[in-house]
């Protein structure tokens, strides 16, 4: 169930509430009088729109991708309505085509774009620094340091956006998005839409119009720099220990203040354009300067270009959060002080927990089946199913970004060597990812006659970010009924021949295996659609759970290879067959309280040792005795 379905808006009488950064941004969006908000789910940004959706005054939508969400928000500003758009850092890669022209046209009503960077790689394929977008697009960028600032900076961003007629980026990180703090809140400032004013010279960005807007963009940036110099969002905090002053922004400020409470700090909240005069004044108050920023040396590089002497990434790492455990030894080295053993940064020791899919996840059977194929290269995508690369399946070979499975699969097909001419190419993609950026890739495969078999895993949810709805689920962000995409019809419309399109129950392993084997032998594009829902959404209906009859289990381990977390290995043995070959055996039990009765483990079970919890075991010949070796699975 999504957060939007589980929470209610804060009571109007409350003035202070415990809020995460995501919730605080959403509250400020409502208070700012926003009328339209759009996003595509992506951790750590997902909850922003889920919280916004709880306020009835705002139109909200899950868009099919980040580019569309930004275009929807931009269209609303052209109509004179304040609007909001949220995404994680890699989402702006998708939306940047639209952003880079919006910076020329500017906006009328306020437009704020919240980008959440996953510093520390909690749930992302890279750790990019979204502060570059402010510089690249010539738009102002604000960086809150806690939940209160996330709220306040959002309100300030709308004011700046309208005063300078420019989109404003708020850059958050995972720590800001998810950590909670007390937030002082206000009430909604209702703003009516002012309407769309036609102006082709501004809104139609052909080269002649764009060239006239370029000088305006640079003039606006000059005025924004003056604004940053006097902004209350940039603060100098004096300190008694002037040996080293810190220039910092965002959550790194909290780490600096915790580590060095007596040091002078220049805390930047309005971080692009940088207030160089303010920073020069601060530099005059300190013997040395250290720039503490996550993760790239943007501020450091710009200050050095201005002739301001600073240290930064020559002492601090380019990756991860700059916690006190990182900062303290780095500063000790900078000041020439001894680094104590207690101060050294030591990776936190955690109990090893390899990521896995949920009990009864319909992707389990897909990857179990793929692991049975030989001579196959599997191109993967971004979603829960990315976990197919790991144990016990080892059934995914490449994965880089949303929708890339399609193009990579075509490239693997067209670029294969002569010795790989018989290699089968399979692309795996989820329903939401297919709608996000995969459709174009499939069209390219069809158009260029690629020999690729596509597994389209339709589980009716954006499972990895919490089960949000999408055009394939048949519900909108509020859970109301909405048109649902027919994937079989869609892929046929993209040019896949009807006889090469199959809809398969993800829990029917023999059918899935037969279909995969048949389609990978056909030298043309084919699509196999699995159609079972995510087990965490209301569309899924659990069945009677299963258990293992201990005396029937031969240790064949086939059920373990399915990868279901409800299956626990209770004992491992190594036996020697009559042929002399040693075989590893795994005896199991099923956690019935977790089992949902999907039956995936039942199908590969060689000795029929798995039954429903309430089924009576029929007498059988016991094949395991304490004084004898267990027969190998092949012999049972």
Burial grade of 5 (CB within 10 A; 0-12, 13-18, 19 or more): middle
Give the Cβ contact number of residue 89 at 10 Å: 24
DSSP assignment of 475-486 equals: B-TTS-B-----
Q: At what angle do helices 509-520 and 362-372 cross, to 10 degrees?
A: 50
- Length, in residues, of the chain: 636
Q: How wide is the angle at C-alpha 507 spanned by C-alphas 501 and 512, nearest 5°?
A: 40
Q: Is 361 annotated as a binding residue?
A: no
Of 402, 400, 410, residue with least CA distance to 377: 410
Going by DSSP bridges, is the β-strand pair 141-142/270-272 parallel, antiparallel, or unpaired?
Answer: antiparallel
d(CA 171, CA 531): 38
> Which residues, at least 6 apart from 228, have a Cβ–Cβ distance to it below 8 Å?
140, 234, 270, 272, 273, 274, 275, 278
Q: Is 399 annotated as a binding residue?
A: no
> Which residues, at least 6 apart from 597, have a Cβ–Cβ distance to it below 8 Å?
360, 542, 543, 544, 545, 546, 612
Give the Cβ contact number of residue 17 at 10 Å: 18
Element of type H or E holding 46? helix 46-52
User: Distance of alpha carbon 461 from its chain centroid, rounded?
Assistant: 14
Burial 39-75 (b: 16+ CB within 10 A, else e): bbbbbbbbbbbbbbbbbeebbbbbbbbbbbbbbbbbe
Return the bridge partners of 398, or none: 379
Cα separations in angstroms, 374 against 387, 422, 517, 528: 19, 11, 10, 18
Q: Is 177 annotated as a binding residue?
A: no
Q: Would you state the structure tokens that stand for residue 26, as one six-digit string?
A: 């959403």
CB 501 within 8 A of CB 529: yes
Q: Is 534 annotated as a binding residue?
A: no
Q: Which long-range contacts (CB under 8 A, 24 or more apart) does 537-540 make?
A: 537/1, 537/460, 537/461, 537/467, 537/473, 538/1, 539/460, 539/473, 540/360, 540/596
Cα separations in angstroms, 520 against 64, 137, 425, 515, 563: 30, 45, 7, 8, 24
Going by DSSP bridges, is the β-strand pair 59-62/235-237 parallel, antiparallel, or unpaired?
Answer: unpaired
Q: Is 556 annotated as a binding residue?
A: yes
Q: At what angle do helices 324-334 and 252-259 cross, to 10 degrees?
A: 60
Q: Is 384 annotated as a binding residue?
A: no
CB 452 within 8 A of CB 413: yes
CB 272 within 8 A of CB 292: no
d(CA 26, CA 20): 10
SS3 85: strand
Q: Indicate the annotated binding residues.
A: 553, 556, 559, 564, 595, 598, 601, 605
Q: Indicate the annotated binding residues for [4Fe-4S] cluster.
A: 553, 556, 559, 564, 595, 598, 601, 605
């Amino acid at each position: 169930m999504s957060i939007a379905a589980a929470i209610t808006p804060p009571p109007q009488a409350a003035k202070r509430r415990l809020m995460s950064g995501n919730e605080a941004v959403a509250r400020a969006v409502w208070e700012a009088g926003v009328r339209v908000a759009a996003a595509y789910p992506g951790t750590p940004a997902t909850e922003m729109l889920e919280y916004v959706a709880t306020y009835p005054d705002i139109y909200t939508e899950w868009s099919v991708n980040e580019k569309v969400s930004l275009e929807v928000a931009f269209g609303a500003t052209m109509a004179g309505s304040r609007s909001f758009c949220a995404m994680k850092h890699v989402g702006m890669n998708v939306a940047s085509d639209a952003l880079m022209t919006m910076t020329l046209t500017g906006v009328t009503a306020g437009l704020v774009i919240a980008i959440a960077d996953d510093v520390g790689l909690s749930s992302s394929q890279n750790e990019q620094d979204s502060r570059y977008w402010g510089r690249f697009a010539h738009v102002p960028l604000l960086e809150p340091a806690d939940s209160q600032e996330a709220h306040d900076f959002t309100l300030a961003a709308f004011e700046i956006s309208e005063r300078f007629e420019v989109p404003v980026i708020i850059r958050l990180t995972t720590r800001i998005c998810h950590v909670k703090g007390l937030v002082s809140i206000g009430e909604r400032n209702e703003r009516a839409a002012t309407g769309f004013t036609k102006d082709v010279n501004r809104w139609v960005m052909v080269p002649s119009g764009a060239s006239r807007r370029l000088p305006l963009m640079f003039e606006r940036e000059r005025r924004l720099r003056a604004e940053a110099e006097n902004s209350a969002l940039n603060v100098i905090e004096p300190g008694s220990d002037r040996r080293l002053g810190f220039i910092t922004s965002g959550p790194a400020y909290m780490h600096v203040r915790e580590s060095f409470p007596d040091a002078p700090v220049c805390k930047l909240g309005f971080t692009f354009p940088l207030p160089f005069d303010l920073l020069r004044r601060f530099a005059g108050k300190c013997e040395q300067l250290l720039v503490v920023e996550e993760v790239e040396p943007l501020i450091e590089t710009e200050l050095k270009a201005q002739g301001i002497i600073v240290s930064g990434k020559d002492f601090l790492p380019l990756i991860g959060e700059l916690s006190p455990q990182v900062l303290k030894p780095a500063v000790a080295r900078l000041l020439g002080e001894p680094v104590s053993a207690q101060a050294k940064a030591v990776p936190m020791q955690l109990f090893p927990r390899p990521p896995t899919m949920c009990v009864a996840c319909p992707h389990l059977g897909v990857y179990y089946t793929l692991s049975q194929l030989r001579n196959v290269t599997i191109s993967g995508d971004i979603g829960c199913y990315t976990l197919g690369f790991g144990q016990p399946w080892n059934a995914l070979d490449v994965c880089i970004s949303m929708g890339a499975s399609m193009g990579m699969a075509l490239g693997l097909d067209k670029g294969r060597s002569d010795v790989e001419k018989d290699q089968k190419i399979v692309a795996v993609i989820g329903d939401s990812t297919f709608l996000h950026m995969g459709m174009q890739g499939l069209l390219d495969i069809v158009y260029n006659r690629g020999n690729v078999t596509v597994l389209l895993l339709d589980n009716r949810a954006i499972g990895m970010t919490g089960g949000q709805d999408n055009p394939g689920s048949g519900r909108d962000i509020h859970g109301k009924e909405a048109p649902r995409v027919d994937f079989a019809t869609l892929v046929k419309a993209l040019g896949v021949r009807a006889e090469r399109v199959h809809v398969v129950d993800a829990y029917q392993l023999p059918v899935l295996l037969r279909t995969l084997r048949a389609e990978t032998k056909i030298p043309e594009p084919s699509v196999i659609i699995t159609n079972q829902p995510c087990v965490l959404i209301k569309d899924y209906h659990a069945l009677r759970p299963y258990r293992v009859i201990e005396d029937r289990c031969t240790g064949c381990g086939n059920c373990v290879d399915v990868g279901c977390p409800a299956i626990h290995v209770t004992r491992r043995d190594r036996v020697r067959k009559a042929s002399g070959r040693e075989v590893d055996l795994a005896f199991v039990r099923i956690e019935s309280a977790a089992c949902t009765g999907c039956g995936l483990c039942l199908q590969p079970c060689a000795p029929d040792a798995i039954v429903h919890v309430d089924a009576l075991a029929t007498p059988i010949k016991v094949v395991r005795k304490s004084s004898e070796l267990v027969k190998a699975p092949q012999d049972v």
